[in-house]
Structure 1
Amino acid sequence: MRTVEAVRRAVAPMTRMRVFRWLGPRILPALEGALGAVTGHRVQVSALLVPSFVLVTRGARSGREREAPLMYTPDGHGRAIVAGTSFARSRHPDWTYNLIAHPRAEIVVRGRRWSVVADLIADGDREAAWRSIEAQWPGYRAYERDSGRVVRLFLLQPVAGPFPARDRRARRR
């Protein structure tokens, strides 16, 4: 068993605890933001455990550029699945409203920017998407149940070229 998989299995249950769901939204965004500012988004805390990027959207109402560090799940066809879980909060995260209003976005992966188009995953494809997500992070769908809402799932398609594969060597540095 690989070390990262062992750490995921150990950490995943903690992310479903109330204390994590309370602390996570208060601490992780600030930590990700500070680390992103220092490293030019080349390093993310979440990327130590799962594939992660910074999603750059245009605000649904303001039109201003907004950044959200997110975990993603490769779909095996050069695209990425993202879930608007928001630590199981009852409200959808802002970035989901932004993608609905403005589906063209960018992602920053290890400091490189890529253009993407987001599509809301249809009801008929949600189960397959959740299976892929949970293969990567067991129990992640519990956020949907605990939030009391249907979590928005998006498929991000690169505008030009395939979605960048995760560099496994970067994890060892």
Structure 2
Amino acid sequence: MGAYNSLIRRLGHQAWFAATARQLVPIDRWIFRRTGGRWSVIGKHGLPSLLLTTTGRKSGQPRTAPLLYARDGDAFVVIGSNWGQQHHPGWSANLLASPEATVAVGDTQIPVRAALTTGAERDRLWSLALQAWPAYTSYAKRANGRDLRIFRLERR
């Protein structure tokens, strides 16, 4: 892990960093798409990132969010941290309403089916996610008691 990656991981615990990064999401989504996943404002720097496209639960329209992920075999693990805000991210509610989605990792589009995890499985995947992004612990504290949703995205 390089010095820059270490710095990003340390800054990730800071509330101001999360607030700033949250504002960059629309720009990041655009850059990620235009470069085929080679560049990202938020998620690169040695961090595994993907674009998750869900179906909007109210609109029925595709909704895309850049996310960090952890690998669990052939599956992807994503956390509904919403940068530590008090409410769940929209993409997680979309997955609960319609678990069929697509992830883009680099130029590769992968159809997936989401499963919300609970119990021992949730605990196991939480540990995997913390290896990818330790700042999730800070996000969980700032979420003020909200359980962060953890999804396992399995290839269809």
TM-score higher than 0.5: yes
* TM-score of the two chains, using structure 1 as the length reference: 0.82
Change (3 A) 1:67 1:139: closer
Tell me which residue corresponds to 2:119. Answer: 123
Tell me which residue corresponds to 1:92. Answer: 88
Structure having the higher Rg: 1
Q: Within 5 Å, which residues of 2 pair with 1:38-117? A: 38-45=34-41, 46-75=43-72, 77-117=73-113
Uncovered stretches (5+) of structure 1, i.e. residues with no partner: 160-173
Q: Is the 8 A contact 2:51 2:65 kept in 1?
A: yes
* TM-score of the two chains, using structure 2 as the length reference: 0.90
Query: Which one has a larger percent helix, Structure 1 or Structure 2?
Result: 1
For 2:91 and 2:53, the matched residues in 1 are separated by: 9
The C-alpha deviation readout for 1:80-121, integer Å capped at 9, x for no partner, is 110011110001000000000010100111122110000001
Uncovered stretches (5+) of structure 2, i.e. residues with no partner: none
Q: Is the 8 A contact 2:29 2:51 kept in 1?
A: no
Matched-pair identity in %:
29
**Structure 2 counterpart SS, 1:16:** coil
Q: Is the 8 A contact 1:90 1:147 kept in 2?
A: yes
The C-alpha deviation readout for 1:118-158, integer Å capped at 9, x for no partner, is 00011232221111111222242221121121000000000
Deviating above 6 A after TM superposition, structure 1's stretches of 4 or more consecutive aligned residues are none
What count of residue pairs does the alignment treat as equivalent? 154
Over the aligned positions, Cα root-mean-square deviation in angstroms equals 1.6
Counterpart code for 1:158: R
**Structure 2 counterpart SS, 1:113:** strand
Indicate whether 1:20 and 2:24 are aligned: no
Q: How big is the shift at 1:17?
A: 1.3
Tell me which residue corresponds to 1:168. Answer: none
Query: Which one has a larger percent strand, Structure 1 or Structure 2?
Result: 2
For 1:91 and 1:78, the matched residues in 2 are separated by: 29
